[in-house]
Chain A
Amino acid sequence: MQSFAYASPATLSEALALLGAEWGEADVLAGGSDLISLMKDYLHTPQRVVDIKGIRELGGIRKSGGGLRLGALVTFDELLENSAVRADYPALAAAARGVSSPQIRNVGTVGGDLCQRPRCWYFRTGHGLLARDGGGRSLVAEGDNRYHAIFGNQGAAKFVSASSLGPALAALGARIKLASSSGTREVTAEQFFLTPENDRQREIALRPNEILTEILLPPARGVRNATYEVRQREALDWPLATASVALRMKGKTVESARIVMGHVAPTPWAAPEAERSLAGKTVTPETAGEAGQAAVAGATPLSRNAYKVQLARTAVKRALLAAAG
């Protein structure tokens, strides 16, 4: 790990003043599960590490406008202990439960989950986020891409978003608040995730001088929601494919559906065709299966990950059946 200066500001404005105009000047430390590994591998070599855990206003879960406001520092454990989260946002609770290590749930934060870097093994071994050789050819396309993207992979980025909560937050229509010294802005969970096109871009909308401060969940009344994860291992690994769904129902009929897949693209990946296919229908194994089929119709698997198409299709079907109960 390269050496760095460490700050533990007590207020958000102090913390923001310690950030840099460019990436590489400062990194924000919360739970540390990802950042410390990134620094050990010299993938992040910040001059300053700004530990935000002492900033009270960034913690806590409270009711807000009929929905919930999650402070960026809320841990997975706190999320799962919260009865309102468990009762009204099962899609989010299931995604948090998927982080199966208690040690990570104890320290890992919701803000950190959204800001964690991708797990692409080319990126993690120092080949860059877009993993290209000197001639600009993709190491992923020609290499071992079994865990890489099956959607949104036609450009340079072929990694998958590592965020566990991102797909659930996108399906639920959450908004994310970002603060800098010059003010705050809000983006939707969908807008927060980006597909970088060159080496200067990151995979999230957060700028180097910003801190993710809170997540705003809209009211969940009448919204049936669920997450289904397909995994190789029960624990200690990211899922292979997931789906989070949120259904606005009228009795047994779906009025509108939000379906977002995880770990299949550089961002959480919405499936509008699948959403439309359900409108006005009841959720049955048949309609859920058709929605799963529609969700993966546009998949563009790489040389070694076509198996993920079937996993994503099944994740969508099972998440829909779980949500409909």
Chain B
Amino acid sequence: MRPVSSNKICEVSKKTKARVSRRGFIRGVGIGGGALGTGILEREVLAAPPAGNLLGPGAVPLTLTVNGKPQQLVVEPRVTLLDALRNQLHITGAKPNCDRGTCGSCTVLVGGKAVYACSMLAIEARGKSIETIEGVPASDPLVAAFVHQDGLQCGFCTPGFVMAAKAYLKRNAKPTEAEVAAAFGGNICRCGAYVPIRKAVLDAAGRGKGGKNARI
């Protein structure tokens, strides 16, 4: 057998890398089970049409409007908004962390208000506007301010903080430093980047001194 040159191996792995993201790979592995599951769920829906306004316990079809786009999905009533966003719609910006409505990394806006997506059922969000970090462009002044101020270390809490800050600045466009310090009691940053996060929010509100990082 001819040995495969190391160059070729490199090429193959490069191609693989380009095609398959970590999340795509995980999703691909799950497809078999997912497809089977969907079949069962759909049968359940057909077999047991909801009586009156009682839905489930089997999966029910829902439409969620995420970042302005209506999305169809079929989930059991017990599925949280966070799990529906991440596992059904593959909108993964809102992060699962404590999963008990404490840490804030799953913060999204529902009807314009910041909520913990882990502590709301997907079915409760029907007919409401849902905004996630994916709907916030990189050019958004708040995102830019987080970058300029280095308002993060590992970044896991950042989507939650940005969404909480979006909701907050809508209510109080020109906050004082003290107000900002008191406003984020619903989000935890385990890296402890609270000071730059507060500065970023003040910058985005035009109340800060500007950050040290170059503009992107």
A: residues with CB less than 8 A from B are: 1-10, 14, 18, 29, 32-33, 36-37, 39-40, 48-49, 51, 53, 77, 100-104, 106-107, 234-236
Please tell me if B158 contacts chain A, counting CB pairs below 8 Å.
Answer: no
Are B102's CB and A2's CB within 8 A?
A: no
- Contact across chains for A236 and B54 when beta carbons are under 8 A apart: no
Among residues of A, the one whose C-beta sits closest to the C-beta of B181 is A234
B164 and A40 form a contact (CB under 8 A): no
* Pick from A6, A14, A53, A103: contact of B116, CB under 8 Å: A103
Query: Is B121 a contact of A6 with CB atoms below 8 Å?
Result: yes
Also in contact, A36 and B120, with CB within 8 A (given A7-B55, A48-B54, A103-B114): yes
Q: Give me 25 A-to-B residue pairs in the complex whose CB atoms sit less than 8 angstroms apart, sorted by A's number.
A: A2-B78, A3-B58, A3-B76, A5-B57, A5-B77, A6-B56, A6-B77, A7-B52, A29-B124, A33-B101, A37-B100, A37-B119, A49-B121, A53-B124, A100-B185, A101-B104, A101-B186, A102-B167, A102-B183, A102-B184, A103-B186, A106-B114, A107-B116, A235-B186, A236-B102
CB of B168 within 8 Å of the partner chain: yes
Known: A103-B101, A236-B185. A8 touches B164 (CB 8 A): no
Instruction: Give chain B's interface residues, CB within 8 Å of chain A.
Output: 52-58, 76-78, 80, 99-102, 104, 107, 113-116, 118-121, 123-124, 164, 167-168, 182-186, 188
What distance in Å separates the Cβ of B201 from its nearest Cβ neighbour in chain A? 13
Q: How far is the CA of A10 from the CA of B78 in the complex (A)?
A: 20
The 10 nearest A-B residue pairs measured at CB: A235-B185, A101-B186, A100-B185, A6-B77, A3-B57, A103-B186, A106-B113, A1-B78, A5-B56, A7-B54
In the complex, the chain A residue whose C-beta lies closest to that of B104 is A103
Q: Determine the chain B residues whose CB is within 8 A of the CB of A1 once the complex forms.
A: 78
Among A5, A18, A102, A107, find the residue whose CB has the most chain B CB atoms closer than 10 A.
A102
In the complex, which of the residues A39, A51, A101 contacts B78, with contact meaning CB atoms closer than 8 Å?
A39
Question: Closest residue to A107 on the B side, CB-wise?
Answer: B115
Knowing A4-B56, A4-B77, A33-B119 are in contact, say whether A102-B186 is a contact too (CB < 8 A): yes
**Distance between Cα atoms of A74 and B196 in the complex (Å):** 35
B180 to chain A, nearest CB (A): 12
Q: Is the CB of B183 within 8 A of A40?
A: no
Q: Could you say which residues of chain B place their CB within 8 Å of the CB of A102? A: 114, 164, 167-168, 183-186
Q: Which of A2, A77, A107 has the most CB of B within 10 A?
A: A107
A148 to B172, CA, bound (A): 38
Q: Roughly how many angstroms separate A3 CA and B76 CA in the complex, as a whole number?
A: 7
- Given A36-B80, A36-B121, A77-B113, 10 more contacts at CB 8 Å? A6-B123, A7-B53, A29-B124, A32-B120, A37-B119, A102-B114, A102-B183, A102-B186, A103-B101, A103-B114
- Docked Cα-Cα span, A14 to B107, in Å, equals 32
CB distance from A91 to the nearest CB of B (A): 20
In the complex the two chains form, what is the Cα distance from A51 to B54 in whole Å?
10
Within 8 Å CB of B52, what residues of A? 7
CB neighbours of B119 from chain A (8 A): 32-33, 36-37, 107
Bound together, the chains give a CA A3 to CA B41 distance in angstroms of: 13
The answer to whether A5 touches B55 (Cβ under 8 A) is yes
Nearest-neighbour CB distance to chain A for B175, whole angstroms, equals 13
Q: Is the CB of B186 within 8 A of A236?
A: yes
Residue of A nearest to B58 (CB): A3
Q: Whose C-beta in chain B lies nearest to the C-beta of A9?
A: B53
